[in-house]
Chain A
Amino acid sequence: MSRIISLRKAILSGSKNASSVVKESLEKVSKDSNLNCWINIYGKEALEKASEIDEKIKKGEDPGRLCGIPVAVKDNMLVRGMKTTNASRMLNEYISPYTATAVEKMQAAGAIIIGKTNMDEFAMGSSGETSAFGATRNPIDTARSPGGSSSGSAACVSADHVPAALGSDTGGSIRQPAAFCGIVGMKPTYGIVSRYGISPFSSSLDQVGPIASTVLDAAIILEIIAGYDRRDSTSIKKEVPGYAETINDSIQGVKIGIPAEYMQDGTDPPVRDSVLAASELLEKMGAKIKEVSLPLTKYAVSVYYIIAPAEASANLARLDGIRYGLSADSGKDFISDVTASRTEAFGIEVKRRIMLGTYVLSSGYYEDYYIKAQKARTLIKNEFMEVFKDVDLIFAPTSPTTAFKLGEKTGDILKMYLSDVFTISANLAGIPALNLPVGRDSKNLPVGAQFMGNYLSEKLIFRTAHALEKELSSSEKQ
């Protein structure tokens, strides 16, 4: 049930070595170049690190919990000496001067970074198609989107280039691509993973998390990357519990709510059917299932598309082509140079969101939009807190559809935004949520369902998702 544990065992026992594992991973990456899931590959550096790990093992030194495990990092996370492009022309040549805390922790545990993965430009997108480096393709059906914005991190795990990757989730950017690619993706409680070294998109929503092929692997990665970091002022000062150690415990008596609003006409029937079938399995394992209601879900997209662009317009104001980034010469004055640089460097989705954010924050509209959305956000959070008085977890579809075709939604931006309807609320409330593949539709495309829990309930989420994963895999075998 764990790719990471079995690879680590093989490396430590000598049946494989880190160098051969990394080499194998690089071969898969180069064979699958049509998927376009990587922006920059660091093969030479990865092989050097692998031989350092092999040396450590030979000398009997502790090589770390992720020794020799090849991993991928979304290209909005800094890794010192590597490029961090954010899939934008703006940062095409940007070299990271330091390493993000989450990545540093992975490296300290012995993980080997193969490269940086493709994504929607500055994480703004739900399909991977806004990348300046071209769309990522879904390994399950290459005519389809792998989801977004962590498109490359999900696609490369699904294609088995690496057993795990780091993604970031602002409105579903880990969970929705994990759902489309048939793998596990976890957005933790806001504040448990440091955002230091992550390019900020919407700072009150952004959260880093693991993408992996199994629940146990996601739990292992989260255990490694979580923890207080004084360099992130929103970091929570709490000890990280052992998510993996209790993952096999029983889920007898766990109360799980299915929100009616996620199971209505807007959700494709095969998605609903798979989620219902999975909930029956949970019940069979001793969980108590009941229907709950989250009526404010219908406002989530509106709240998100005010708050996220507002914060993005402020965060991306630093990209002026002076201290870093693409610099254009307008032939005129200083301000015209800044405008020319931004105009040339940003793609249309980034421009649209910066302009939307600027609009909702501008004089005369701030109260009506931004403040109203912040108040609505409080109500959405309160609604979750009420439901969590009654149930321990919420179980619901991650996305109303399975993976859509590339190009299918690019012409209708509102339709694209509405595809995030089920993932956004967890970000607005700051609560943890994990995507688990729970079935396939008639086209054999994976259906993802998410467990959402109260603040810091990751342990319970991992345990319940792991139990369901095991049950699903054994019923598949029968």
Chain B
Amino acid sequence: MDKNTIEKIMNLARIELADDEKKEIPSQMKKIIDYIDNLNSLDTSGAGQGEAVFLKEMILQPDKEEIFPDIETLTSNSPSFSEGFFKVKKVL
């Protein structure tokens, strides 16, 4: 787990690490990954493609509009909701 890999993961995960976390987390992740590599000794050739293991079917809903009962509380949780929009900084 080199520095570049950690930087790449941090960027993908949208997480920065503090200096002490930068020391701690990569070495812990390496330890965990070394451990989970024991899976390499398991022959999984008879296991299909790794699809959902026990769900026979996924029940889908009709794509139908429903009115949410408490829009006020829902939007009050946002620090930046105004005039029907979530306000963010310019993206482009």
User: Cβ of B70 and Cβ of A348 under 8 Å apart?
Assistant: no
Digitize A79-112: 1 where CB-to-B-CB distance is under 8 Å, 0 elsewhere.
Answer: 0110000000000011111100000000000000
From A94, A359, A375, A428, give the contact of B50 (CB < 8 A).
A375
Q: Is A230 in the interface zone, CB < 8 Å from B?
A: yes
Chain B residues with Cβ below 8 Å from A267 are none
Question: Which B residue's beta carbon lies closest to that of A335?
Answer: B14
Q: Is A180 in the interface zone, CB < 8 Å from B?
A: no
Chain A residues with Cβ below 8 Å from B58 are 233-234
From B40, B60, B86, B90, give the contact of A323 (CB < 8 A).
B86
User: Cβ of B79 and Cβ of A321 under 8 Å apart?
Assistant: yes
User: Cβ of A233 and Cβ of B60 under 8 Å apart?
Assistant: yes
User: Cβ of A302 and Cβ of B10 under 8 Å apart?
Assistant: no
Q: Is B53 in the interface zone, CB < 8 Å from A?
A: yes
User: Cβ of A322 and Cβ of B80 under 8 Å apart?
Assistant: yes
Chain B residues with Cβ below 8 Å from A191 are 55
Chain A residues with Cβ below 8 Å from B46 are 379
- Knowing A298-B38, A362-B9, A375-B44, the reply to whether A322 touches B89 (Cβ < 8 A) is no
A430 to chain B, nearest CB (A): 4
**Interface SS majority for chain A:** helix
User: Cβ of A417 and Cβ of B59 under 8 Å apart?
Assistant: no
A338 and B10 alpha carbons, distance in the complex (Å): 12
User: Cβ of B25 and Cβ of A348 under 8 Å apart?
Assistant: yes
- Knowing A298-B38, A356-B29, A358-B9, the reply to whether A379 touches B15 (Cβ < 8 A) is no
From A95, A299, A303, A359, give the contact of B76 (CB < 8 A).
A95
- Knowing A377-B53, A414-B35, A429-B54, the reply to whether A359 touches B29 (Cβ < 8 A) is yes
Chain B residues with Cβ below 8 Å from A325 are 77
A95 and B74 alpha carbons, distance in the complex (Å): 8
Instruction: Count chain B residues whose beta carbon lies closer than 8 angstroms to a beta carbon of A.
Output: 57
User: Cβ of A302 and Cβ of B47 under 8 Å apart?
Assistant: no
Chain A residues with Cβ below 8 Å from B89 are 333-334, 337
Q: Is A376 in the interface zone, CB < 8 Å from B?
A: yes
A359 and B37 alpha carbons, distance in the complex (Å): 14
Digitize A20-54: 1 where CB-to-B-CB distance is under 8 Å, 0 elsewhere.
Answer: 00000000000000000000000000000000000
Q: Is A339 in the interface zone, CB < 8 Å from B?
A: yes
B26 to chain A, nearest CB (A): 9
Chain A residues with Cβ below 8 Å from B74 are 97
User: Cβ of B59 and Cβ of A299 under 8 Å apart?
Assistant: no
User: Cβ of A378 and Cβ of B50 under 8 Å apart?
Assistant: yes
Chain A positions 404-421 with a Cβ under 8 Å from a chain B Cβ: 413-414, 417
User: Cβ of A430 and Cβ of B53 under 8 Å apart?
Assistant: yes
Chain B residues with Cβ below 8 Å from A455 are 54
- Interface-facing stretch out of A63-71, A157-165, A217-225, A365-373: A365-373
Chain B residues with Cβ below 8 Å from A359 are 5, 9, 29, 33
Q: Is A237 in the interface zone, CB < 8 Å from B?
A: yes
- Knowing A299-B39, A334-B91, the reply to whether A372 touches B12 (Cβ < 8 A) is no
Chain A residues with Cβ below 8 Å from B15 are 339, 342-343, 346, 351, 354-355
From A81, A322, A339, A356, give the contact of B78 (CB < 8 A).
A322
Chain B residues with Cβ below 8 Å from A358 are 9, 12-13
Digitize B59-92: 1 where CB-to-A-CB distance is under 8 Å, 0 elsewhere.
Answer: 1110000001111011011111000001011110
From A97, A333, A340, A373, give the contact of B77 (CB < 8 A).
A97
A417 and B28 alpha carbons, distance in the complex (Å): 12
Among A235, A375, A376, which residue has the most Cβ atoms of chain B within 10 A?
A375
Chain A positions 347-405 with a Cβ under 8 Å from a chain B Cβ: 348, 351-352, 354-356, 358-359, 362, 369, 371-379, 381-382
A97 and B16 alpha carbons, distance in the complex (Å): 30
A253 and B61 alpha carbons, distance in the complex (Å): 43
- Knowing A413-B28, A414-B32, the reply to whether A303 touches B39 (Cβ < 8 A) is yes
Q: Is B51 in the interface zone, CB < 8 Å from A?
A: yes
A223 and B28 alpha carbons, distance in the complex (Å): 42
A401 and B16 alpha carbons, distance in the complex (Å): 36
Q: Is B3 in the interface zone, CB < 8 Å from A?
A: no
- Knowing A302-B39, A358-B13, A359-B9, the reply to whether A237 touches B59 (Cβ < 8 A) is yes
User: Cβ of B38 and Cβ of A352 under 8 Å apart?
Assistant: no
- Knowing A322-B80, A323-B78, A351-B21, the reply to whether A379 touches B47 (Cβ < 8 A) is yes
User: Cβ of B90 and Cβ of A362 under 8 Å apart?
Assistant: no
Q: Which 4 A-B pairs have the closest CB atoms?
A: A374-B50, A324-B77, A375-B44, A375-B47
Q: List 24 A-B contacts (CB under 8 A).
A: A80-B70, A81-B73, A93-B77, A97-B73, A230-B59, A233-B60, A235-B59, A237-B59, A298-B38, A301-B36, A317-B14, A323-B86, A333-B90, A334-B91, A346-B15, A359-B9, A369-B36, A372-B50, A374-B51, A375-B44, A375-B47, A377-B53, A378-B44, A413-B32
Assuming A234-B58, A382-B47, what are 9 further A-B pairs, CB within 8 angstroms?
A95-B73, A95-B76, A96-B73, A98-B69, A190-B55, A305-B36, A358-B13, A372-B40, A414-B28
